[in-house]
Amino acid sequence: MPSDDPAQSLAAVRDAITRAAKLAGRKDTATLIAISKTKSADEIAPLLDIGQRVFGENRVQEAEAKWPALRARYPDIQLHLVGQLQSRKAEDAVALFDAIHSVDRPSLVAALAKAMEKLGKRPACFLQVNIGDEPQKGGCAVADLPALLAEAQGAGLPVAGLMAVPPADVEAAPYFALLAKLARDHGVAGLSMGMSADYETAVTLGATHVRVGSALFGPRLGARA
């Protein structure tokens, strides 16, 4: 559970990540992306004050409203988009974000490539895989990953890794292991996996980026995921 003190929550999550990486015999650790969706600038500020610089949002419009002002105060912020992205918002996303974790279809690859060309800015791209084959979830089918990867590389996107959100309410480890295997098989380095409930497991299975919201900020009241 997150404590009321964001500094304490942040320290606890960072410690847990370090411990999990050590336990797994890793020489490196994972980047903590603090997921600040639905949280106000006032709620985010304490984490900035104590040194957290990597944040994630799931909606372009919400991020556009919050982050330019925060960035003016903390220019070294790194902002990641972790939510579904409509192709018509690709240019806005490229303009604002340093990384995009939801690249999941050829039409979006094309829109992002065009936006990057136009803006001369190339955010790191993670290809999202629908690892549990759930109809309501974003991400490409496991079987379509090789074609999507070829498409993204062919279009010149800087492919940094794979991303997935495993099915809720079941053991996540097998899904993390599958995503790690897919990344190995396809020669991509990054693995964006693990949320508040399971980020330590994800780190032991090789996550390079964990996306942690409620364990840092407390629950999102009545919020959409």
Binding mask 174-213 for ligand PLP (x = CB under 6 A): ---------------------xxx-------------xxx
Nearer to ligand PLP, 155 or 215 (CB): 215
Shortest approach of ligand PLP to residue 105 CB, angstroms? 16
Q: Please name the amino acid found at residue 21.
A: A
Size of the site for ligand PLP (CB under 6 A): 15
The number of residues in the chain equals: 225
Beta bridge pairs of residue 103: 127
Instruction: Give the span between the Cα atoms of 31 and 206, in whole angstroms.
Output: 11
Q: Please name the amino acid found at residue 36.
A: S
Q: How far apart are the first and last CA of the chain?
A: 18
- In the window 92-121, what residues touch ligand PLP (CB under 6 A)? none
Nearer to ligand PLP, 139 or 206 (CB): 139
Are 28 and 21 within 8 A, CB to CB?
Answer: yes
Q: Please name the amino acid found at residue 202.
A: A
Answer yes or no whether residue 52 interacts with ligand PLP by CB under 6 A: no
Look at residue 126 and give its three-state secondary structure. strand
Read off the DSSP letter of residue 89: G
SS (H, E, C) 133-162: CCCCCCCECHHHHHHHHHHHHHCCCCEEEE
Answer yes or no whether residue 37 interacts with ligand PLP by CB under 6 A: yes
Nearer to ligand PLP, 115 or 212 (CB): 212
One of 35, 94, 112, 179 touching ligand PLP (CB under 6 A): 35
Shortest approach of ligand PLP to residue 199 CB, angstroms? 7
Answer yes or no whether residue 9 interacts with ligand PLP by CB under 6 A: no
For binding to ligand PLP (CB under 6 A), which residues are involved? 35, 37, 58, 82-83, 165, 195-197, 211-215, 225
